[in-house]
Each structure stands twice: as C-alpha cells, then as structure tokens.
Amino acid sequence: MLKSLIVKEVKDLLRDRKILFAMIIMPLIIYIGMGAAMSSLMEQSIKQVEETVKAGVKIALLNEDNGPWSKTFIEYAEKYWNATIIQINTTNLNKALNTTESLGLRALYIIPPGFSANISNEKPGVIQVYFILHDLSITSMGLLSVYNNIVSGFSKYLSSIIITRTAKVNPAFAMAPITGKTQVLLSGTIVSANLVQALSGQLFVLPVAPMLVIGYATSIAAMSIGVEKEEKTLEVLLSLPIRRRDIVLSKLTGSLLISLLASISMLIGFSYYMRSMTSIGANSTSEATQISMTGGIFGLIGVPGLILYVLSVFFAVFLASTLGLYLGSFGENVRSAQSMVGYIWIIVFFPLYMAIFTDFALDPLAKILAISVIPFAAPLVVLKAFLSGKIIYGVISIASSIGLLALIVYLLTKRFEGEKLLVGKSKRKKKSAFFKFGF
C-alpha cells in the first residue's frame, strides 16, 4: 500500500511540468552554464596575464643604491623577465609614483641606499615594490603576483650566486638574501598587498546581498498581485471608479518605498559585514583601525561613490519589484505568479559576476560597455568604476537601469489598461506563455 502511494505521489509531481523543469532540468542547465561561463572568464583573465608577461613587463626603478648588486637585479629582470626598466630620478615617493603612473607603468621598484653593502655584509637587502592597481579583478591580481615574483625570483637567483661564490656563509641569509615589501596604490590610497587580497575577496561576496534582495523583491511583488487575483480583491479594485493608472501608481509607490528601505537596510548591514571581514586581513592594529574607519571598499570609493552605489542598488531593487508586478500579472493565482519569477535570480547572478571578472583598466572598451549596460550589474559596475577612476561607466549602468525601469512601467501600465489582466493567460496558450518569459 505504501509503495503504491509513493509511486502515485512521484507520478503526480512529475506530471507537473513546472516542478519537472524547476527541480530536475533547470539545476542541470544552471550549473553547466555557470561552470562554462566562469571557466571561460577565468581563462580570459589568465590569458591576459600570460600575454603581458610574454610581451615583457615594464617597470619603473628608483635606484638609490647604484651598487653592484642593484645592477645585478637590473640584469636579472631584463634577462629572465624581458623587462623594460625606466629609471626614475626623483627621491620623492609621491613624485615617483605620479611619474610611474603618467608613463603608463604598473609598478615602481625602489632599491634603497646601502642595498649592495647589506648583501656584501650578509644582511638581507630590501626591495620595495609599489604596484599601481586600477581595478580589483582577477587579471589585476594576477599581474600583482607577477611583479611580486620578480623580487622573489631574484632572491632565489641571488641565493644560488652567493652559495656558489662563497665558501662560508650564513645559511639563513643564503636562503633569503632579499626581502620584498609590496604595497599597492589603490584609488589614491597606499595599502598593503595582503589588504588588497582581502578587498579582492570582498568583491566575490558583494553580489550575494544584492542578489538576495533583488530576488526577494521580485518574488514578493509577484506574490502580492497573485494574492489579489486569488482573493478577488483586484477584481473589486478594478470595478471601482478609479483610474487604472492611479492603481499602477499606487503599486509602484509602494514598491518604491519598500525598495528604498531595503537598499538602506542592505547598505548598513553589509557595510558592517565588509568592514569586519576586511579587518581580519589587516597586517597590523593601525591598519585594521584604518579599515574599520573607512569601511573597506566603501571607504575607498568615497562619499560620491557611496551615493551612486546606493542609487544603483535602489534602482536595481525597484526594477526587480516592478518586473515582479508585471510578470506576476500574467499568473492566475499565487502559484502561477511565483513561477513567473522563480528564476529571476539567474538574470541577476550572471551580470554581477561578469562585472567581477571585467577589468575596467585592461579590458576592451566594447566589453566594458556591454557589461555596463546590463541593468542588474549596476551595483558592481559602480564600485569598479570608482575604484578605476572611470566613473562614466557607473553613470551609464544606472542610466541603463532607469531606461529598462521606464520600459517595464510602460508595459505594466498598458497591462492594467487591458481587459485580460484578471484572466492572466489562457489555458490554450499556457505553455507558450510560460516559455515566453523563460521560466
């Protein structure tokens, strides 16, 4: 008897095409698509780094030592890294960094006075590396590792020379004759390389909150209109002597207020989370305090960037709510309305993570513009636009969200003015309407 009941339930579930599509077919499509997309984006980033190394790195060098071992470093970089070295003749760090950036170079190496003397006296020599980072992307972080590897590679190279030429040498010095100190110039602020790694990790977590808020906003909006249809309250409302545009306006106003509250709530909570997680990656108490005061990535983009980020989240959530109302209006009840927006998070997920893998300083203009005009990518695009100093992409992204929002509002207004609103979609066209929206 139990076996028959189980067989009956399984058959009933499998007869429902929505359940079959949602629980069996869709996960397969999603994860295969995600894997292929992520793999392709990662390969593109690795290829960019490899092409840069193959073409030869270009570095600025401030050589305050001019001794034999500093010349050995230059010879090593030119021979083994195919490096083009441009000498900087100022001792002022800010001027040296400005010159490096104006020349289009990504790294400044500083060899301090006494470098060669320290190595000759079996004391570790120090090479300071200042990497100019224009964007937090996989490609940029890969290039940071390349420039760090030049110093670590030279340490190993020098170690082999010392061991070969010197009979008696301090083992600890022979194993690590060079100490590299890497700092990063990001958005006009000098921070440690470890902190940049932590900030880069933040980017992969950042899409989670907008994705959840946008997904819930779409679902709740669709459910609200589904409930009104199911309980016949929408039918009563439409029979009253009220202009249908006023009904649409009231629904949009409610969605707007909820979107505003959701944006503020998400910003406060997520800012605290990001600040706490970034502080863990700090090298010192003072650095942790600095991060805590600035708020991690949000601190780096400044007040204008923060305002634009809030606007991008607000319009993304408002767009999702409006889209939920429009798609939900094609449902006959709560269940069908929810099915219309069940996979809206996929439309949100892919653009957000595509924005993460896009380097606003290295990628082609066409690719950056293509990412920027995808509405739900706006929160990430705004952050990366301010980090890279190319604010125009953030403005374009928000403008794209506003444009799509205006289109959805227009379609929603037309939908409420029509006579098929209460019916939803006819049974004869149920299947085609279901796949019309990709759900």
For residues 388 and 309, membership in a common domain is answered with yes
> What DSSP assignment string belongs to 184-234?
EEETTEEEEHHHHHHHHHHHHHTTHHHHHHHHHHHHHHHHHHHHHHHTTHH
What is the reported pTM? 0.74
For residues 286 and 321, membership in a common domain is answered with yes
Q: 29 pLDDT exceeds 60?
A: yes
For residues 342 and 427, membership in a common domain is answered with yes
Segments forming the whole domain that contains residue 156: 56-186
Contact 122, 170 (CB under 8 A): yes
Distance between CA atoms of residues 130 and 132, nearest Å: 6
- Which of 154, 186, 218 is the C-terminal boundary of a domain? 186
Q: 434 pLDDT exceeds 50?
A: no
Name which of 106, 18, 90, 93 is nearest 333 in CA terms: 18
What is the pLDDT averaged over residues 376-396?
Answer: 87
What is the pLDDT averaged over residues 419-429?
Answer: 55
* 386 vs 4 pLDDT, higher one: 386
* pLDDT tens per residue across span 327-354: 888 877 777 777 677 677 677 777 877 8
For residues 130 and 229, membership in a common domain is answered with no
For residues 276 and 254, membership in a common domain is answered with yes
Predicted confidence band of residue 407 (pLDDT cuts 50, 70, 90): very high
For residues 371 and 417, membership in a common domain is answered with yes
For residues 141 and 250, membership in a common domain is answered with no
- Would residue 361 count as lying in a domain? yes
Residue 241: per-residue pLDDT: 79
- Would residue 317 count as lying in a domain? yes
pLDDT above 90 coverage of the chain, percent? 18
Name which of 438, 411, 408, 433 is nearest 423 in CA terms: 433
Read off the CATH number of the domain in which 133 is found.
Answer: 3.40.1710.10
Q: 65 pLDDT exceeds 50?
A: yes
**Number of helices followed by number of strands (H, E) in the chain:** 20, 6
For residues 73 and 176, membership in a common domain is answered with yes
For residues 330 and 392, membership in a common domain is answered with yes
* pLDDT tens per residue across span 284-315: 545 545 444 445 666 677 778 888 888 888 88
Range name among 12-26, 132-146, 243-257 with the lowest pLDDT average: 12-26
- Would residue 363 count as lying in a domain? yes
Q: 283 pLDDT exceeds 70?
A: no
What is the pLDDT averaged over residues 206-216?
Answer: 74
Q: By CB neighbour count within 10 A (0-12 exposed, 13-18 middle, 19+ buried), where does 218 fall?
A: buried
For residues 109 and 2, membership in a common domain is answered with no
- Would residue 192 count as lying in a domain? no
- Would residue 191 count as lying in a domain? no
- Which of 130, 151, 186 is the C-terminal boundary of a domain? 186
Count: domains in the chain: 3
* 197 vs 392 pLDDT, higher one: 392
- Which of 165, 186, 207 is the C-terminal boundary of a domain? 186
What is the pLDDT averaged over residues 63-88?
Answer: 91
For residues 211 and 78, membership in a common domain is answered with no
For residues 141 and 203, membership in a common domain is answered with no
